[in-house]
């Protein structure tokens, strides 16, 4: 076990080793991006810490002492092993697939149809999508990023707004024509569709006063990628984000029955700190795709 209390400062050891490899203080300073005075100061500090003369100075000429050569040999082996270990772990990190978590509805309706442009721009990046409503933890070696719906409040993470995405209730025109009114009481009598484990939709229905009015057996629970298909077919009303159904609204396949007044959006969520190249590429790409996504607000029709 290393006794770190007796170990000289790593910065001083690095400066000394760089000086030996480069052949001069000036060359070492250039390699490390510091001044030659800083290198000289580090070497003097190392000599003081070891109580040994490592470099013999005769005028402007510097030569290693026996102790200096012995230390330089050991540092060369040690730093060489460190460099190889760093290369091993960073190579593994670069080769690890990029893992992105998002809901199945967002993945199938927005993300997957656009992935072709990402593959063309970054053919060397292996991408893994996790279509799940669960809030996957973003941890080193695990999920790199998530696209989440909400207010951007996720503790310990960085959230960047991608797309305004208010929640709405939609249904096929023929189904909405059967509603007694546009009020929650009138809509509650129709069949409903719900994305499995989707808390946002459930909270929305509670805020609107619909959830307490629903009778047993009136809700069909489906994976998110199937909710829109069922809604288009007239099998029930669905709580969705307006961004994902804009084309259906424009084409008249779906109509808005109710709108949430609270502000919500899709956010790109990442861990604080440096990002590996594959993640930086994905974040840049998804920002650009979001910036060119049409975002029109549709009126709620009378029914």
- At 288-299, the pLDDT tens digits run 999 988 653 333
Closest by CA position to 296, among listed 239, 228, 232, 243: 243
Predicted pLDDT of residue 92? 58
- The gap between the terminal CA atoms of the chain, to the nearest Å, is 76
| pLDDT tens track for 102-133 | 988 899 899 999 999 999 999 989 999 998 88
Per-residue confidence band for 249, with pLDDT thresholds at 50, 70 and 90: very high
- 3-state SS assignment for residue 175: helix
Predicted pLDDT of residue 84? 82
Query: What is the signed CA dihedral for 243, 244, 250, 255, rounded to 10 degrees?
Result: -100
Predicted pLDDT of residue 148? 93
Q: Report CA-CA distances (Å) from 121 to 39, 118, 264, 268.
A: 43, 5, 30, 20
Assigned token pair, 185: 């009481």
Q: Taking 60 as the threshold, does the pLDDT of residue 300 lie above it?
A: no
Assigned token pair, 11: 């910065």
- For the chain, how big is the Rg over CA atoms in Å? 30
Predicted pLDDT of residue 303? 36
- Is the full-model pTM beyond 0.85? no
Q: How far apart are CA 254 and CA 289, in angstroms?
A: 24
| pLDDT tens track for 176-207 | 998 877 778 878 888 888 887 666 777 777 77
Predicted pLDDT of residue 299? 38
């Amino acid at each position: 076990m290393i006794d770190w209390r007796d170990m000289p400062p790593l910065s001083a050891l690095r400066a000394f080793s760089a000086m030996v490899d480069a052949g001069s203080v000036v060359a070492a300073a250039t390699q490390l991006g510091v001044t030659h005075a800083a290198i000289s100061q580090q070497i003097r500090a190392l000599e003081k810490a070891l109580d040994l003369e490592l470099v013999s100075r005769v005028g402007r000429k510097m030569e290693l002492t026996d102790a200096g050569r012995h230390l330089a040999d050991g540092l060369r082996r040690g730093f060489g092993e460190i460099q190889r270990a760093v290369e091993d772990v960073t190579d593994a990190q670069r080769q690890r697939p990029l893992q992105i978590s998002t809901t199945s509805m967002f993945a199938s309706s927005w993300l997957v149809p656009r992935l072709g442009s990402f593959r063309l721009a970054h053919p060397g990046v292996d991408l893994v999508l996790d279509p799940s409503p669960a809030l996957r933890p973003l941890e080193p070696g695990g999920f790199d990023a998530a696209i989440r719906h909400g207010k951007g409040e996720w503790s310990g993470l960085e959230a960047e707004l991608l797309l305004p995405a208010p929640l709405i209730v939609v249904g096929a025109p023929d189904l909405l024509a059967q509603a007694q009114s546009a009020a929650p009481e009138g809509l509650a009598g129709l069949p409903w569709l719900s994305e499995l484990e989707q808390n946002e939709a459930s909270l929305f229905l509670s805020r609107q006063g619909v959830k307490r009015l629903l009778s047993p057996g009136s809700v069909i629970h489906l994976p998110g990628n199937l909710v829109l298909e069922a809604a288009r077919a007239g099998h029930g009303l669905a709580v969705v984000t307006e961004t994902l159904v804009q084309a259906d609204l424009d084409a008249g396949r779906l109509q808005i029955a109710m709108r949430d007044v609270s502000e919500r959006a899709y956010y790109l969520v990442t861990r604080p700190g440096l990002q590996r190249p594959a993640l930086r590429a994905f974040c840049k790409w998804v920002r650009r795709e979001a910036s060119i996504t049409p975002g029109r607000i549709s009126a709620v029709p009378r029914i």
